Amino acid sequence: MFVRTTMLSQAALGAAIASVLLLAPARAEDSVKIGLILPMTGGQASTGKQIDNAIKLYMKQHGDTVAGKKVEIILKDDGAAPDKTKTAAQELIVNDKVNFIAGFGVTPAALAAAPLATQAKIPEVVMAAGTSIITEKSPYIVRTSFTLAQSSTIIGDWAVKNGIKKVATLTSDYAPGNDALNFFKEHFIAGGGEIVEEVKVPLANPDSRRSCSGMKDAKPDAMFVFGARGQGGTS
């Protein structure tokens, strides 16, 4: 199972930002600045570009003014690297004095910005990262996308209902991969299923072919797969 963010799902994010803006405290400024932190380069770039295009599309269709204030988007590329995310968030908050920080294509990026949102007391709008714990890391975080539990639990239930008894799992060994695996296992095992082989692939050297040689011998009825974006070719 590869969780992908589609252009269709991202097209509604501009509306979500507009809704948050309408609830924001009144300020003296004539504009509202949104610091958009996205992976525009690197292996996660497709996520960042989809979100950026969706926001541009929404603003083209609905204008750049909400509740009488002009919306200004300041985009920074973090390449999905948490250190760069933190630096970008600091610059946006301190130098650009944004009213919101938003974006966050991956879980480590969203988590890196959480303490800064709390300290600055500004909303952090998570638009893609799906690990369930993210919203617990700051009272200022709101998520407009999804959680991995939403898809993984459904697949676990579906597998049981469709006669799948034995499953081998192949997942990337980082927070989203572990989240997807745990939620799938919880529902699949509760329904009477059995995990016959469990393989976690490191992000640094994601050659899963070397890691899953025992899966054939386990003779599973199906495989549950979750891979970090950009690593599908190594599976």
214 conformational bin, left if phi > 0, alpha if psi -120 to 50, beta if neither = alpha
Q: Cα separation of 154 and 57, whole Å? A: 31
Coil, strand or helix: which one is 30?
Answer: coil
Is 193:166 a contact under the CB 8 Å cutoff?
A: yes
> Looking at 126, 143, 160, which one is the last position of a domain?
143
Q: Taking the CA atoms of 67, 33, 109 and 136 in sequence, report the sign of the dihedral they define.
A: negative
Q: What is the pLDDT of residues 174-209, one digit of tens each?
A: 888 999 999 999 999 999 999 999 988 887 665 656
Q: What whole-number percentage of the chain has pLDDT above 90?
A: 63
Same domain, 20 and 98: yes
Q: What is the pLDDT of residue 16?
A: 52
| Alpha carbon 40 to chain centroid, angstroms | 14
pLDDT at 26 over 60: no
* From 11-15, 121-125, 148-152, the region with the lowest mean pLDDT: 11-15
pLDDT at 130 over 60: yes
> Looking at 124, 143, 162, which one is the last position of a domain?
143
Residue 1 forms part of a structural domain: no
Is 160:181 a contact under the CB 8 Å cutoff?
A: no
CATH code of 70's domain: 3.40.50.2300
Whole-prediction pTM? 0.77
Q: What is the pLDDT of residues 45-69, one digit of tens each?
A: 999 999 999 999 999 999 999 888 8
Range of the domain at 194: 148-234
Q: What is the domain count for the chain?
A: 2
